[in-house]
Amino acid sequence: MLIAQITDLHVGVMGQKVYGLVDTPGFLAAAIAHLNRLNPQPDLVIATGDLVDEGTVAEYQTLADLLAPLRAPLYLALGNHDDRDAFRQIFGDLPYVPAEGVLQYAVEDYPVRLLVLDTLVPGASHGELDADRLAWLEQQLAAQPHRPTVICMHHPPFVTGLPGMDKLFCRGAEPLAALVSQYPAVERILCGHLHRPIQLRWAGTLGSIAPSVAHQVALRFPPARENAFVMEPPAFQLHLWHPQAGLVTHTAYVGNFDAYSYATKAPIAL
């Protein structure tokens, strides 16, 4: 099984650059083209939030148009730049989208199960898992305790050493950690929000943040306090469920790169 994770798309309306600088629709189109070229194709693509930049219906329509050519099945999660009502106006008919409330659901059709959480707090940049959202997760984990599982959530429930972002993490993390640590079958916590690839050990599993398919957050440790963005290469991650190795995370940079045979120096197909 191959899971592709894209995150922090921040799609704006066509022709307008996010922060006046970043052509996010163009970046997403390049990522979709790259995903469509993959052989084998991913079994599914999970987008872990900040699907659009300002949470407007027009942006979600642009997003839908950009996602239409994607070949692999797609699952969407919400981030702090998203808006549940506007999202539902365009994507509300997807079979996994609940009619109301938070956007949490399970994907059961593959060897690795996905539990998708909603950490969005309307009007805020930080995330939160309140008692109801946690209770849903608890129920899901208890129902199939030994099944390999990844939990997908936009805001990481852990800090990373990047002070500007750490204050915007997912609140309510202690009970989540207590819950997750009871289930060794949880292979990963797959997050976005940080716009960088970051991994750490957390609650008996691996916390993993994927880079953005558009702009990245600058890697600035203290004494820097402020966030800044940087045009490092856009990327996505491929989480491979391998019979020997278990779940292995690979990072792929978006682009159409030539690969050369060591023996003949001739280009070979990727």
As a whole number of angstroms, the distance between CA 45 and CA 75 comes to 6
Two tokens, residue 144:
């199939």
Q: Any contact of residue 50 with Fe ion (CB under 5 A)? A: yes
Instruction: Pick the stretch among 18-26, 42-50, 110-118, 242-250 that binds Fe ion (CB under 5 A).
Output: 42-50
Q: Apex CA 31: angle with CA 192 and CA 244, to 5°?
A: 65
If binding means CB under 5 A, how many residues of this protein chain bind Fe ion?
2
Buried b (16+ CB within 10 A) or exposed e, 230-245: eebebbbbbbebeeee
Instruction: Pick the stretch among 43-51, 88-96, 129-137, 196-204 that binds Fe ion (CB under 5 A).
Output: 43-51
Q: How far is the CB of 49 from Fe ion (least distance, A)?
A: 7
Q: How far is the CB of 53 from Fe ion (least distance, A)?
A: 9
Q: Around 8, how many Cα atoms within 13 Å sit in the side-chain half-sphere? A: 26
Of residues 50 and 187, the one with the C-beta less far from Fe ion:
50
Q: Any contact of residue 8 with Fe ion (CB under 5 A)? A: yes
Which residue carries 């300002």 as its tokens? Answer: 54
Nearest residue to 55 (alpha-carbon basis) of 22, 102, 13: 13
Instruction: Pick the stretch among 44-52, 83-91, 130-138, 177-185 that binds Fe ion (CB under 5 A).
Output: 44-52
Of residues 50 and 59, the one with the C-beta less far from Fe ion:
50
Of residues 133 and 195, the one with the C-beta less far from Fe ion:
195
Positions that interact with Fe ion (CB under 5 A): 8, 50
